[in-house]
């Protein structure tokens, strides 16, 4: 144990001993699964309690407190390098920008789709005849639940070609939502979102320079969270109705298609199995 409290690794490969694709899979599946369960839990608690605006947050608060306990019990198995920076570094090295960029735009689309399903699409479902919070929450749960299942199913498939397939699925579903086909489009969207999220994260990590994985992954998620915030805000500013949601969804679909075009132009549509 060092004076800083870090436990040194037994070998240089100790920290990276887990397969990279497994780490990416756990990260994406846990995220998608939690986002799928959350709306259903909130809807059930809101309907069953007399305080729908506060009761769901009690459970989230308890879960957050429990997570602090687990974090405190976790042992640190990696000793950081001697070089320490107090100021965070934003961005990625120019040398990997061409490989990083399509994965960043892909996760922007994936998180933008996720955000629309968590905010305005459930409200726009009123046009389709939805009347209960649970029914609206199920749309989010179906999309993200399908996403999580898909990520497990395609664990052995990666590369830019898988990313392109996921982007096509999202694009088609986002521009093809009609009342009669809403749930079919939601499932297709979940498949596309899952493949895009899983493949883009794995590709982004693969593109990072040795010792620069944290900065690259941080930049990846920075773009992802921009995708979480920007599309629903723009749809809200446009009125938040079904037409506004459809317009923003179409723009996200166009970005997805443009990303595929970039991958093809850059000769990155390779295929990787395993």
Q: Does domain 96-266 have CATH number 1.20.1250.20?
A: yes
- Most confident among 17-31, 230-244, 256-270 (mean pLDDT): 230-244
User: Which pLDDT value is given to residue 102?
Assistant: 92
- 254-266 average pLDDT score: 87
User: Which pLDDT value is given to residue 121?
Assistant: 83
User: Which pLDDT value is given to residue 265?
Assistant: 83
Q: Does the pLDDT at position 270 exceed 80?
A: no
Q: What distance in Å separates the CA atoms of residue 264 and residue 222, rounded to the nearest whole number?
A: 25
User: Which pLDDT value is given to residue 173?
Assistant: 81
Nearest CA to 188 out of 168, 202, 158, 164 is that of 168
What's the predicted TM-score (pTM) here?
A: 0.79
- Judge whether 133 and 47 are in contact, CB under 8 Å: yes
Helix (H) or strand (E) holding 236: helix 213-237
- Judge whether 111 and 222 are in contact, CB under 8 Å: no
User: Which pLDDT value is given to residue 7?
Assistant: 40
- Judge whether 250 and 174 are in contact, CB under 8 Å: yes
- Judge whether 199 and 271 are in contact, CB under 8 Å: no
Q: pLDDT (tens digit, 9 = 90+) per residue, 195-214? A: 898 888 888 888 888 878 88
What number of helices (H) and strands (E) belong to the chain? 9, 2
Q: Where are the domains of the chain?
A: 22-73, 96-266
User: Which pLDDT value is given to residue 77?
Assistant: 64
Q: Does the pLDDT at position 17 exceed 60?
A: no
User: Which pLDDT value is given to residue 158?
Assistant: 62
Each residue of 242-272: b (16+ CB within 10 Å) or e? bebbbebbebbbebbbebbeebeeeebeeeb
Between 14 and 218, the more confident residue is 218
Q: What distance in Å separates the CA atoms of residue 220 and residue 108, rounded to the nearest whole number?
A: 9
């Amino acid at each position: 144990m060092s004076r800083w409290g870090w436990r040194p690794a037994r070998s240089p490969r100790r920290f990276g001993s887990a397969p990279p694709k497994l780490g990416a899979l756990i990260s994406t599946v846990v995220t998608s699964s939690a986002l799928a369960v959350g709306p259903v839990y909130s809807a059930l608690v809101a309907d069953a309690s007399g305080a729908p605006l506060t009761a769901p947050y009690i459970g989230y608060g308890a879960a957050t407190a429990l997570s602090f306990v687990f974090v405190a019990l976790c042992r640190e198995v990696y000793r950081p390098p001697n070089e320490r920076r107090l100021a965070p570094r934003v961005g990625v090295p120019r040398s990997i920008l061409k490989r990083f960029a399509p994965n960043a735009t892909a996760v922007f689309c994936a998180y933008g789709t996720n955000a629309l399903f968590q905010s305005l699409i459930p409200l726009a479902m009123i046009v389709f005849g939805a009347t209960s919070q649970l029914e609206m929450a199920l749309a989010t749960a179906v999309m993200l639940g399908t996403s999580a299942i898909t990520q497990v199913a395609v664990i052995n498939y990666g590369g830019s070609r898988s990313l392109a397939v996921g982007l096509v699925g999202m694009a088609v579903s986002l521009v093809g939502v009609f009342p009669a086909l809403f749930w079919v489009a939601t499932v297709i969207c979940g498949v596309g979102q899952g493949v895009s999220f899983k493949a883009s994260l794995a590709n982004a990590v693969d593109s990072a320079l040795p010792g620069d994985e944290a900065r690259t992954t941080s930049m990846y998620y920075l773009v992802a969270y921009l995708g979480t915030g920007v599309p629903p805000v723009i749809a809200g500013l446009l009125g938040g109705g079904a037409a506004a949601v459809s317009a923003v969804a179409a723009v996200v679909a166009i970005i997805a298609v443009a990303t595929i075009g970039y991958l093809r132009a850059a000769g990155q549509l390779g295929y990787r199995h395993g």
